[in-house]
Chains A and B, each alone.
Chain A
Amino acid sequence: MTNLETFRTETRAWLEANCPKEMRSSSNSEQDFCWGGRKWVFTCPAQKQWLEVMAAKGWTVPDWPVAYGGGGLSSEETKILKQEMFKLGCRSPLNSFGIWMLGPALLKFGTEEQKKHYLPQIARGEIRWCQGYSEPGAGSDLVSLQTFGADMGDHWLVNGQKVWTSYADQADWIFCLVRTDKNDKYRGISFLLFDMETKGVTTKPIKLISGSSPFCETFFDDVKVPKHQIVGELNRGWDVAKYLLGHEREMISGGGLGDGLASLGAAHEGVLAQEPILRAQMAMFDIESMTFRAHSEKFLDEWKSGKAHPAYSNLMKYIGTELNKKRHELIMAVGGSDALEWESEASNQGSKPRSWLRTKANSIEGGTSEVMLNVVAKRILEMPGA
């Protein structure tokens, strides 16, 4: 047996022994995921247990170095772990912007002290992070952000406003883009980390068309941020932000995968037998969905081996989010009038229409589809012009 085969056998045995039964069913809503942090209330003892055993093994972040709370696995081993978790139906033990976004940026740009301090907290789900990027006047044109950090010697004094801050009201810390030089648009931004309990930070949830409030407006009023809480060099936060956005786009593009490998049409055989045009649309969707899975598999292989174009995640973000929107349009179409129910026991409190509306943000957040296409045209296709 090769080392990888041994690893697979051992991993499967360990997962079978350690993953609680309650954590092996597919998740129905965002509440089923564990997000961790100081304010987190575990939905059941199994959720807590699952997080703790996985964190102890470093498998909440299997490919991070052991020294920073990771599992130290190779990319091949990480893939095997994910495959075995998928086969057993194991849920992800921890969902986290710290894992998906800040962690990779700290691994690349952080000082050794920052890595040792922040990364293990992320790996164990102790600190929940939010992202302070967009502002009322800086959406797609993010580099126009105005939130300003005045240099006060040993600290910055931050004033301004962020918007679309995901789960800011539930997060413990924020990674935040702050202008530290008003004279240079790109090279005047710094990447700061600070505690959301710092004096002067307030948040206000934004109610969306889906009825839920995953995003907040976040206000900074004379917030003191110590100088050592900067990632990367002063005024070079844009480099960190760009790197991190690549990871965010990679993550959001995964949304098009829906719940794994199943055919969307297969779940609605009865309705489709009576609806030939809808059946045809469903078949065309299944083709797109299979295509995206094959495309993602190929992209991830190339990404990990360094062969992918650095801007390629923008393309995957565009395709994945548009696909996910199409998926939810079809779920609504096949659901008919039942899928219109907003408040009722039978419809799980309107999970279908709420999810459908939520997906409309997929192609806006993390860079709009239009911006993604601009980036692909300019950086990958090398089309002329500014």
Chain B
Amino acid sequence: MGIGHTQEQNMLKDMVAPFLAENAPVKHMRNLRDADDKIGFSRGLWKQFAELGLTGILIPETEGGLGLGHVEAGIVLEQIGRNLTPSPFLATAVAGAQALKNASAEMRGNWYPKIVSGDAIIGLAIDESSKHRPQAVELIAERMGNGFRLNGSKQFVLHGHIADLLLVSARTSGATDEEAGISLFAIARDTKGIEVQTDRLVDSQISARISFENVELNGDAVIGDIDGGWSPLQRLLNAGRIGAAAEMIGVGGGAMDITFEYLKTRKQFDHFIGEFQALQHRAAHLYGEMEGARAIVLKAQHLLDDDDSRAELFVAAAKAKAGLAANLAVREGVQMHGGVGMTDEFDIGLYMKRDRALAEFFGDINFQANRVALLNGY
């Protein structure tokens, strides 16, 4: 078996690519931004995702989903990235749905149908500081009889202001930086004691800072084991990391394509600027970086789908490489566009903004590189 796409996977791409290009091109994102939309994405478009089954892409067929894997989710995310489509797909249908695989049958029965129908949005309340450090959990969940009482705060929760369900990492025992003693909770956002403050981000997405003040929960709100939340959290984060990497392949690829098109049409000194070797070499180098990134993202998706023991290492490397390549694509993109690259009218700057936000999701290049070193034993 190679690591290229199968015929079925190509069919998925052939469905999703024209669907998004038609219904949610960059213009769609601009319209939402310019209308100062308060939701952060189009609910109508999300319903269309549900009609195509994409909302349940990772959810098992026996539970109403498509039962597909990270390779397929990545195909959708690449197109989302390419079109800069604002969408809850990554947080809800990929990372969130994946985390719920560790949940009780009752919890899954409660949330999976709503996710599949497009009626439930998930907010991932993981980070507590400006840099991703998932083991640094200070939000406290104290035992209260059969249940828990939560106090603390989270930030960088995309769609947190309109999410129906929050997945929250909380400390039930142990010290701040320990992996043991973390528990993962599923909490309805309208639970008493939850306060949400929204921020619009550089890429026009809406993110939330959420405070938890004496939020009382039943014992059945825990996903997986009490004190053993690190395992479902890793599952969530690995899905999120490889998903964000796939979206960056789309962002970087989209930025690269419009830049190459510009090199072939813009004339200066009576020549297409793409004739100049100074730009040709940089273009060829960029292409190689994007191709490599695409390959390792595919490789990591396959390993994750196969439950391979190397998956974690490859996911970290793939998120880092996708970040490096996409960042090069948007920087070269703006530079090669020259002055117009600095204008809001041209799309290239929007790609740069989106890339900056994706770089931080689930840990940036430096975080992932450190993980690669640790997982390799140094």
| A 54-97 contacts with B by CB, 8 A | none
| Residue numbers in B under 8 Å from A291 (CB-CB) | 292-293, 295-296, 317, 321
Contact pattern, A 232-271, Cβ under 8 Å of B = 1, otherwise 0: 0000000000000000000000000000000101101100
Are the C-beta atoms of A287 and B317 separated by less than 8 Å? yes
Which residue of chain A has the shortest Cβ distance to B370 in the bound complex?
A: A283
Question: Is B271 in the interface zone, CB < 8 Å from A?
Answer: yes
Are the C-beta atoms of A266 and B272 separated by less than 8 Å? no
Question: Is B260 in the interface zone, CB < 8 Å from A?
Answer: yes
| Residue numbers in B under 8 Å from A273 (CB-CB) | 378
CA–CA, A383 to B272, complex, Å?
Answer: 9
Are the C-beta atoms of A298 and B3 separated by less than 8 Å? yes
- Which of B260, B296, B369, B376 meets A294, CB within 8 Å? B296
Which residue of chain A has the shortest Cβ distance to B325 in the bound complex?
A: A291
Question: Is B277 in the interface zone, CB < 8 Å from A?
Answer: yes
The 6 closest A-B CB pairs, nearest first, are A385-B275, A301-B2, A377-B280, A294-B299, A376-B284, A263-B376
CA–CA, A9 to B4, complex, Å?
Answer: 26
| Residue numbers in B under 8 Å from A220 (CB-CB) | none
Are the C-beta atoms of A315 and B317 separated by less than 8 Å? no
Are the C-beta atoms of B3 and A301 separated by less than 8 Å? yes
Question: Is B283 in the interface zone, CB < 8 Å from A?
Answer: yes
Are the C-beta atoms of B291 and A315 separated by less than 8 Å? yes
Are the C-beta atoms of B295 and A297 separated by less than 8 Å? yes
| Residue numbers in B under 8 Å from A302 (CB-CB) | 2, 4
Question: Is A361 in the interface zone, CB < 8 Å from B?
Answer: no
Are the C-beta atoms of B264 and A383 separated by less than 8 Å? yes
Question: Is B274 in the interface zone, CB < 8 Å from A?
Answer: yes
Question: Is A41 in the interface zone, CB < 8 Å from B?
Answer: no
Question: Is B298 in the interface zone, CB < 8 Å from A?
Answer: yes
Are the C-beta atoms of B373 and A374 separated by less than 8 Å? no
Question: Is B288 in the interface zone, CB < 8 Å from A?
Answer: yes
| Residue numbers in A under 8 Å from B287 (CB-CB) | 315, 376, 380-381
Which residue of chain B has the shortest Cβ distance to A269 in the bound complex?
A: B378
| A 259-309 contacts with B by CB, 8 A | 263, 265-266, 268-269, 272-273, 279-280, 282-284, 286-288, 290-292, 294-295, 297-299, 301-302, 305, 307
Question: Is A319 in the interface zone, CB < 8 Å from B?
Answer: yes
Smallest CB separation, B304 vs chain A (Å): 13
| B 325-378 contacts with A by CB, 8 A | 366, 368-370, 372-373, 376-378
Question: Is B156 in the interface zone, CB < 8 Å from A?
Answer: no
| A 99-140 contacts with B by CB, 8 A | none
- Which of B2, B281, B296 meets A290, CB within 8 Å? B296
| Residue numbers in B under 8 Å from A383 (CB-CB) | 260, 263-264, 274-275, 280, 283
Smallest CB separation, B256 vs chain A (Å): 10
| Residue numbers in A under 8 Å from B3 (CB-CB) | 294, 297-298, 301
Question: Is A46 in the interface zone, CB < 8 Å from B?
Answer: no
Interface centre among A284, A295, A383 (most CB of B within 10 A): A383
Are the C-beta atoms of A381 and B288 separated by less than 8 Å? no
Question: Is B167 in the interface zone, CB < 8 Å from A?
Answer: no
| Residue numbers in A under 8 Å from B272 (CB-CB) | 384-385
Question: Is B148 in the interface zone, CB < 8 Å from A?
Answer: no
Question: Is B112 in the interface zone, CB < 8 Å from A?
Answer: no
CA–CA, A263 to B317, complex, Å?
Answer: 12
Question: Is A5 in the interface zone, CB < 8 Å from B?
Answer: no
| Residue numbers in B under 8 Å from A269 (CB-CB) | 377-378
Question: Is A175 in the interface zone, CB < 8 Å from B?
Answer: no
| Residue numbers in A under 8 Å from B237 (CB-CB) | none
Are the C-beta atoms of B280 and A373 separated by less than 8 Å? yes
- Which of A263, A265, A283, A292 meets B292, CB within 8 Å? A292
| Residue numbers in B under 8 Å from A372 (CB-CB) | 284
Are the C-beta atoms of B274 and A282 separated by less than 8 Å? no
A291-B293, A383-B274 in contact; A373/B284 too (CB < 8 A)? Answer: yes
Contact pattern, A 215-238, Cβ under 8 Å of B = 1, otherwise 0: 000000000000000000000000
Smallest CB separation, B275 vs chain A (Å): 3
| Residue numbers in B under 8 Å from A376 (CB-CB) | 284, 287-288
CA–CA, A279 to B378, complex, Å?
Answer: 8
Residue pairs across A and B with Cβ atoms less than 8 A apart, 24 shown, are A266-B376, A269-B378, A283-B372, A284-B369, A286-B317, A286-B373, A286-B376, A290-B313, A295-B295, A295-B296, A372-B284, A373-B284, A374-B281, A374-B284, A376-B284, A377-B280, A377-B283, A380-B284, A380-B287, A381-B280, A384-B264, A384-B275, A385-B275, A385-B276
Are the C-beta atoms of A319 and B299 separated by less than 8 Å? no
| Residue numbers in B under 8 Å from A290 (CB-CB) | 296, 313-314, 317, 321, 372
Question: Is B73 in the interface zone, CB < 8 Å from A?
Answer: no
Are the C-beta atoms of B285 and A268 separated by less than 8 Å? no
Which residue of chain A has the shortest Cβ distance to B299 in the bound complex?
A: A294
Are the C-beta atoms of B4 and A319 separated by less than 8 Å? no
Smallest CB separation, A75 vs chain B (Å): 11
Are the C-beta atoms of B4 and A373 separated by less than 8 Å? no
CA–CA, A265 to B292, complex, Å?
Answer: 21
Question: Is B320 in the interface zone, CB < 8 Å from A?
Answer: yes
| Residue numbers in A under 8 Å from B275 (CB-CB) | 383-386
| Residue numbers in A under 8 Å from B294 (CB-CB) | 298
Interface centre among A297, A382, A386 (most CB of B within 10 A): A297
* Beyond A283-B373, A382-B264, 11 extra complex contacts between A and B, CB < 8 Å: A265-B373, A283-B369, A287-B324, A294-B296, A295-B291, A295-B292, A297-B3, A302-B2, A373-B281, A380-B284, A385-B276
CA–CA, A385 to B369, complex, Å?
Answer: 40
Smallest CB separation, A254 vs chain B (Å): 15
A291-B293, A294-B296, A301-B3 in contact; A381/B283 too (CB < 8 A)? Answer: yes
Which residue of chain B has the shortest Cβ distance to A378 in the bound complex?
A: B280
Smallest CB separation, A208 vs chain B (Å): 27
Are the C-beta atoms of B280 and A265 separated by less than 8 Å? no
Question: Is A10 in the interface zone, CB < 8 Å from B?
Answer: no
Are the C-beta atoms of A301 and B4 separated by less than 8 Å? yes
- Which of A272, A297, A315 meets B378, CB within 8 Å? A272
Interface centre among B284, B293, B296, B369 (most CB of A within 10 A): B284
Question: Is A318 in the interface zone, CB < 8 Å from B?
Answer: yes
Are the C-beta atoms of B4 and A318 separated by less than 8 Å? no
| Residue numbers in B under 8 Å from A318 (CB-CB) | 284, 288
| Residue numbers in B under 8 Å from A307 (CB-CB) | 4
Question: Is A370 in the interface zone, CB < 8 Å from B?
Answer: yes
| Residue numbers in B under 8 Å from A282 (CB-CB) | 373, 378
| Residue numbers in A under 8 Å from B366 (CB-CB) | 280
